[in-house]
Amino acid sequence: MEWKRDWGLTARVLLTGFLLFILYLVFMTVLVVLFPSISIFLIVGLAVVMGLVQFFFSDKLVLWSTGSRIIAEDEYPELHRTIEKLCHEADLPLPRIAIMQSPVPNAFATGRSPKHAVVACTDSIMRLLTRDELEAVLAHELSHVKNRDILTMTLASFVAMIASMIMQSFFFSALFGGNNRENGAAWIVVWIVSIIVYALSTLLMLALSRYREFAADRGSALITRNPRALISALTKISGRMEAVPPQAKAKVEAANAFFIIPALSGNTIMELFSTHPATEKRIAALEKIETEIRGY
């Protein structure tokens, strides 16, 4: 079965992106009306700079935060051969490959484009999964690369970054327009609007992130032609994750948005806002894809 778009999923991604764009336009209109001055453009400019840093250095930042290291081919020849084969199937250039020493069984991909991608997995996931299961997980990560998800999520985070910066700068509003009562009232309105925009944009980003996981699962199934292997891998990883000590999961929690399954320690608010769909829903979607591939 050749690589095909899931148009229902694509429509949801486009709708989410459109809603983020509308939210951005509304937010900027409010800002310009209340503060028709250079300060607003300064905030937007800073957000652009932060976005560019995130985009161009995401691979280095994620590798650093997770303690992953790039490996040579002779260190893990089997892993290199597997990823090379999958890249051939997916029509992708070979990414840099990294290993992360952690008891948390997981994998991730990062990088601003297929030519600057990194695919990494933990040493524990290599011990946990069979060859076919690991291949399916790596194909999932390569699908993120093929779909340019780092670019998608960086653009999606732009509105939230602006809202966050304005929320914080509220407490330093004197730097952006004086202390008169009228200006202070305007800043209170902007601060309230910023909180609302930040909450809505975050919810939309989380929805977009969940859609991208479904898309990467689908990509894995099409690359390997073996969705059952990814179903088995997701089941194993989820089961094993419950046995991993919370302290170990807490160490890598900051990179949860990149992982194939988030490592939630149970000690943060992150469990209230999931970047990933429920494993049960992912398995149900993969079973439908299996039916498509088998043709019955």
Tell me whether residue 1 is in a domain: no
pLDDT of residue 174: 44
Tell me whether residue 70 is in a domain: yes
Tell me whether residue 130 is in a domain: yes
Query: Which of 133, 141, 213, 253 is an active site residue?
Result: 141
How many distinct structural domains can be found in the chain? 1
Q: How confident is the model at residue 59 (pLDDT cuts 50, 70, 90)?
A: confident
- Report whether pLDDT(117) > 60: yes
Name the residue with higher pLDDT: 285 or 44.
Answer: 285
Structural domain boundaries, residue 32: 7-294
For the chain, how many residues are written?
296
Query: Distance (Å, rounded) from C-alpha 245 to C-alpha 242?
Result: 8
Tell me whether residue 234 is in a domain: yes
User: Which residues, including other chains, have CB under 8 Å from residue 1's CB and lie 6 or more apart?
Assistant: 222, 225, 292, 293
pLDDT of residue 70: 96
- Of 280, 140, 287, give the one whose Cα is nearest residue 227: 287
CA angle 251, 253, 258 (to 5 degrees): 125
Tell me whether residue 2 is in a domain: no
Tell me whether residue 225 is in a domain: yes
Annotated catalytic residue 287:
no
